[in-house]
Amino acid sequence: MGIFNNLFGKKEEKTIEAVADNAVLAVCDGEFIPAEKIADPVFAENMMGQTVAIEPTNSTITSPVNGTLEVVFPTGHAFAVRANDGTGYLVHIGIDTVSMNGEGFKALKKQGDTVKAGETVVEVDFNKVEAANHPKTTMIIITEPVEDKTYSYIDFGTVKANQIISK
């Protein structure tokens, strides 16, 4: 059937592996870093919540968890997802990228959409982000933790998109 899909312009959808509701995935390929290595004190000092980040090497940003998109910023630079376990996560793409007014960001999902961990939410042109002199560091922030739940991550280092980074 693949040849017929190609002939008639039908795209084959990428299969997303199902993961447990308590799993947190890397939102892109890159270098997984702790908060203190982020070049912005708001994120580096965990002011918005427990924060980790990835220095991206690809341009698609996925949902870190199974859940519902509660907010997709009109500028595409950030989105919030409520995990099925109740945890609130914010994914913030780049530093000070809100000032780009959406230039270089394409949100593929909207507020209220149900997402699977690993499903693409935003496509980013990181050449535009870098041309605007913004770091492309992408943060994953636990803005609303679930009471009595501990959140921990694997060792920092190189990660692939959709790799489980939670312990």
Report the catalytic residues: 92
Give residue for tokens 């190609």: 6
3-state SS class at 61: strand
Find residue 116's DSSP bridge partners.
none
- Residue 27 sits at the vertex; the CA angle it makes with 22 and 28, to the nearest 5 degrees, is 145
- Distance separating alpha carbons of residues 128 and 57, to the nearest angstrom: 14
